[in-house]
């Protein structure tokens, strides 16, 4: 539960500049670590408000806070958002002209700047470090800190150089922030940065406002089309594994009348920047991209994310799907996968990695595939991967818990056949070999071992090896089978022995989902979904877009969807009432109140609606 803000400096700053009257979980503790000058590692899910954990304290402390950020586009978005709120912030990167860099230096020298965003490469330049040693640096904030760890999913070698900050600035605290970090990654971050007795704050990895839906890919374009039909005029991201897929899907969707743009590393910097800006300013609804797009993208009103192919790890999936619903409102995450995705990623990993790094990547890839084929609650699976538990018996926010999966009718019989095969193989083989036996393979290993003579050889031949392989993983996920030892040998668990006796009720996913009407309904979170004037909200989005274009900033920077919904809920007709809208700080009230109030009053009078609800 969020903690009510107390009347202190942090509360005053958060209300004044950001218009919030509550902290999100762990935000106050994270901010307190900054104010106390204690090193920290903060892991909050995307949308958990980790940026505010260092932005707000910077306004409560003397000196200049240095924020290490990996991407120019992220820096620009953050600076635009901060300055719109009235926070004095700037960035230094390769896109700055000499005149712009000199202006920033003058602001720093005059003590007027509170936050400076900089890439790790520029920060580590001798002249940058020498200059900052003469500046009153309040603290360092390392954003996207998982990039420093080779065990992380997005390792960036340039982040390793940040290890010298502790020796260069021994009296300045370091704070690391990330949305995805397993315990080994957190330990590696602490070690690499040389943090001293850091406060380690790890929020829940669960994103209850996200609905997860996973389906086998069988007709990619039409499956995507069905999703877009449900999300007309809403902002979304479609992730693809390859650049070729990006171009093909974007072109095909545009031919069907959708507004999309492609984004991948094969495009020029100018093209990528132009397409990203068009998406951020809502000139188009959907960006179709490889993972080259999105790290740190600070767009709050993404209502859906589609993975047109399986990501390479659950860390990547958590971060990419987490770009939906950053404003706390409901959003949906769709994942369309196939067995070929696993093989494609494996081939790519073989080209890029060796040794322990390759083995770790394959384990991550396998965990991702297990997630896709599992029939265990998606929310529970995700938080479990990151070492946490989900207590609720049903998340009410995934295809599994809402019964939107097609399950085989004779799951017990099929499961008994699989477990019987494991027993007849003397529990000495892994999942792949077991699936081959059940599928009736004539592989030389099977013939040499005489396993083609087993009563279970070919018992599921009509189902095919891949389907049997998927079912084995589903039985592992449900606890009927266990993987043991270095080579993941299959063993039948105690619960599995109950299954063999017919005393269990396993569930197995059908190889391909039947064509059916959609059973899942969009979940409503805390009454926030339908208690506002929808036509007014849509009209306010148009006004927001007009103002954003005038200011040349992304639309969500003017106001997020949550603020617009609150306006459509409260329908303020005065400045005092407008200030009560969530997300309206002093600067935004000063800049936008007159225009929004006039628009709301005109709409309400025309529609005969009560104002100041």
Radius of gyration of the chain, Cα coordinates, nearest whole angstrom: 26
CA diameter of the chain: 84
- Provide the pLDDT confidence category of residue 340 given band limits of 50, 70 and 90: confident
pLDDT digits (tens, 9 = 90+) for 444-486: 999 999 999 999 999 999 999 989 998 998 898 788 999 898 8
Q: What percent of the chain has pLDDT over 70?
A: 94
pLDDT at position 512 is 58
pLDDT digits (tens, 9 = 90+) for 79-92: 989 999 999 999 98
- Provide the pLDDT confidence category of residue 514 given band limits of 50, 70 and 90: very low
Helices and strands in the chain: count of H runs, count of E runs = 27, 17
pLDDT digits (tens, 9 = 90+) for 355-377: 888 888 888 998 998 899 888 89
Checking if the pLDDT of 518 tops 60, the result is: no
> Count of CB atoms within 10 A of residue 551's CB?
15
Checking if the pLDDT of 404 tops 90, the result is: no
pLDDT at position 258 is 95
> What domains sit in the chain, N to C, each tagged with a CATH number?
3-202 (3.40.50.300), 210-385 (3.40.50.300), 411-500 (1.10.10.10), 534-607 (1.10.150.80)
- What does the alpha-carbon distance between residue 140 and residue 451 come to, in Å, rounded to a whole number? 62
CB proximity list for 87: less than 8 A, separation 6 or greater: 17, 55, 59, 114, 115
- Decide: helix, strand or coil at residue 39: coil
- What does the alpha-carbon distance between residue 331 and residue 18 come to, in Å, rounded to a whole number? 23
* Length of the chain, in residues: 613
Please measure the distance between the N-terminal and C-terminal CA atoms of the chain and give it in whole angstroms: 25
> Count of CB atoms within 10 A of residue 426's CB?
8
Q: Please state whether 40 falls in left (phi above 0), alpha (psi between -120 and 50) or beta.
A: beta
- Provide the pLDDT confidence category of residue 227 given band limits of 50, 70 and 90: very high
pLDDT digits (tens, 9 = 90+) for 498-508: 999 999 989 89
- Provide the pLDDT confidence category of residue 519 given band limits of 50, 70 and 90: very low
Nearest to 431 by CA among 380, 386, 471, 383: 471
Higher-scoring residue by pLDDT: 299, 332: 332
> Count of CB atoms within 10 A of residue 354's CB?
9
- What does the alpha-carbon distance between residue 480 and residue 474 come to, in Å, rounded to a whole number? 9
Higher-scoring residue by pLDDT: 261, 21: 261
pLDDT digits (tens, 9 = 90+) for 181-194: 778 889 999 999 99
- What does the alpha-carbon distance between residue 471 and residue 418 come to, in Å, rounded to a whole number? 9
Which one-letter DSSP state was computed for residue 277?
Answer: H
Checking if the pLDDT of 549 tops 50, the result is: yes
Checking if the pLDDT of 210 tops 60, the result is: yes
Q: Are 374 and 407 in contact (CB under 8 A)?
A: no
- What does the alpha-carbon distance between residue 428 and residue 467 come to, in Å, rounded to a whole number? 21
Of 2-6, 172-176, 293-297, 428-432, the range with the lowest mean pLDDT is 2-6
Q: What is the pTM of this model?
A: 0.77
pLDDT at position 525 is 46
């Amino acid at each position: 539960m969020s903690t009510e803000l107390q009347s202190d400096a942090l509360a005053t700053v958060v209300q004044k500049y950001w218009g919030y009257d509550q902290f999100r979980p762990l935000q106050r503790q994270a901010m307190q670590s900054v104010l106390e000058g204690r090193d920290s590692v903060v892991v909050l899910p995307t949308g958990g408000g980790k940026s505010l954990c260092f932005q707000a304290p910077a306004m409560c402390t003397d000196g200049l806070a240095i924020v290490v950020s990996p991407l120019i586009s992220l820096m620009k978005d953050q600076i635009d958002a901060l300055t719109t709120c009235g926070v004095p912030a700037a960035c230094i990167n390769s896109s700055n002209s000499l005149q712009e860099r000199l202006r920033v230096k003058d602001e720093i020298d005059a003590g007027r700047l509170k936050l400076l965003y900089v890439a790790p490469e520029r920060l580590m330049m001798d002249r940058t470090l020498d200059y900052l040693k003469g500046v009153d640096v309040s603290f360092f904030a390392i954003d996207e800190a998982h990039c420093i760890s080779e065990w992380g999913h997005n390792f960036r070698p340039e982040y390793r150089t940040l290890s010298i900050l502790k020796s260069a600035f021994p009296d300045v605290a370091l704070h690391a922030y990330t949305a995805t970090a397993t315990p080994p990654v957190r330990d590696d971050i602490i070690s690499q940065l040389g943090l001293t007795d850091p406060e380690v704050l790890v929020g829940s990895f669960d994103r209850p406002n996200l609905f997860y839906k996973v389906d086998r890919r069988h007709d990619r374009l039409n499956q995507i089309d069905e999703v877009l039909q449900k999300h007309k005029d809403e902002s979304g991201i479609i992730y693809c594994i390859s650049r070729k897929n990006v171009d093909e899907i974007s072109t095909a969707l545009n031919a069907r009348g959708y507004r999309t743009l492609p984004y991948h590393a094969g495009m020029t910097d100018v093209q990528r920047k132009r397409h990203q800006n068009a998406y951020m300013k809502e000139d188009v609804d959907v960006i179709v991209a490889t993972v080259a797009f999105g790290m740190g993208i600070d767009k709050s009103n993404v209502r859906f994310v589609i993975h047109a192919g399986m990501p390479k790890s659950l860390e990547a999936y958590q971060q990419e799907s987490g770009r939906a619903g950053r404003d706390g409102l409901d959003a949906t995450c769709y994942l369309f996968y196939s067995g070929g995705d696993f093989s494609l990623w494996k081939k790519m990993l073989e080209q890029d990695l060796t040794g322990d790094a390759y083995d770790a990547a394959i384990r991550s890839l396998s965990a991702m595939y297990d997630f896709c084929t599992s029939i265990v609650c998606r929310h529970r699976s995700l938080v479990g991967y990151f070492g946490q538990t989900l207590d609720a018996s049903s998340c009410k926010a995934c295809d599994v818990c809402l019964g939107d999966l097609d399950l085989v009718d004779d799951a017990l019989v099929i499961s008994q056949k699989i477990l019987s095969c494991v027993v007849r193989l003397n529990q000495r083989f892994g999942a792949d070999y077991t699936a081959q036996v059940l599928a009736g393979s004539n592989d030389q290993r099977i013939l040499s071992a005489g396993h083609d003579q087993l009563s279970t050889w070919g018992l599921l031949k009509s189902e095919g090896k891949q389907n049997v392989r998927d079912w084995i993983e589903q039985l592992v996920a449900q606890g009927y089978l266990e993987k043991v030892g270095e080579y993941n040998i299959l063993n039948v668990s105690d619960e599995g022995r109950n299954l063999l006796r017919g005393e269990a009720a396993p569930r197995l996913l059908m190889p391909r989902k039947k064509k059916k009407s959609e059973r899942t309904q969009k979940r409503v979170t805390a009454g926030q979904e339908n208690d506002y004037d929808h036509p007014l909200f849509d009209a306010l989005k148009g006004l927001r877009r007009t103002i954003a274009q005038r200011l040349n900033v992304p639309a969500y920077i003017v106001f997020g969807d949550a603020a617009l919904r609150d306006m459509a809920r409260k329908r303020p007709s005065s400045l005092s009432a407008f200030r009560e809208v969530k997300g309206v700080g002093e600067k935004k009230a000063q800049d936008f109140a007159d225009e929004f109030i006039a628009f709301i009053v005109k709409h309400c009078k025309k529609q005969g609606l009560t104002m100041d609800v």
